[in-house]
């Protein structure tokens, strides 16, 4: 994303109105722990081999849980989705704010990471891909708002379940 595109996104008036939605923390927490625990134990087994000293390894594994709680909470807090009559404000893959107008959405592709469903929105203007978390804390309200705001021909409708 260039500086001019970033400034255009930040100055868009549609980013301050509309309804804000946050991702659900529980699926994020489960995915973080589900990814980190096997990775941590795999690295410990590679490092120590069959002679693992279990006490420090288990203490390290136990520290993953509070880190996952903090990480999931921060992700829910900082990576929200705002739906407005003008479009969707979410994030790019790098976490930068990204706004896409409803008429500019040329393609929507679903992406699954563990059990987390994301919707990647591609713009006809060639700006950064906007990532929308579909595992919302209030999925019913999120779905209703998308149905209400998105034009009938929008590719977003095919992915809202």
8 A C-beta contact, residue 126 and residue 106: no
What average pLDDT does range 11-29 have in this prediction? 77
3-state secondary structure of 91: strand
Q: 3-21+81-159 sits in which CATH class? A: mainly beta
- Is residue 6 over pLDDT 70? no
Residue range 92-141, pLDDT digits in tens = 888 899 999 999 999 999 999 888 999 999 998 877 899 999 999 999 99
Per-residue pLDDT reduced to its tens digit, 44-91: 888 888 787 888 888 888 999 999 999 999 999 988 999 999 999 999
pTM of the shown model: 0.76
Query: Where are the domains positioned within the chain?
Result: 3-21+81-159, 26-75
Rounded CA separation 63/111 (Å): 29
> Nearest 5 degrees, angle CA 23-CA 147-CA 80?
20
């Amino acid at each position: 994303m260039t500086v001019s595109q970033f400034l255009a996104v930040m100055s868009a008036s549609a980013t301050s109105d509309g309804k804000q939605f946050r991702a659900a923390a529980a699926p994020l927490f489960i995915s973080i722990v589900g990814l980190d625990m096997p990775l941590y134990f795999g690295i410990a087994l590679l490092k120590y081999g069959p002679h693992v000293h279990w006490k420090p390894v288990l203490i390290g594994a136990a520290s993953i849980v509070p880190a996952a709680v903090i990480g999931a909470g921060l992700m829910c807090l900082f990576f929200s989705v705002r739906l407005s009559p003008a479009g969707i404000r979410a994030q790019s893959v790098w976490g930068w704010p990204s706004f896409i107008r409803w008429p500019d959405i040329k393609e929507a592709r679903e992406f699954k990471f563990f059990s987390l469903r994301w919707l990647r929105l591609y713009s006809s203007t060639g700006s950064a891909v906007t990532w929308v978390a579909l595992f919302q804390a209030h999925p019913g309200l999120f779905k209703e708002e998308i149905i209400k705001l998105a034009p009938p021909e929008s590719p977003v409708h095919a992915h809202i379940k």
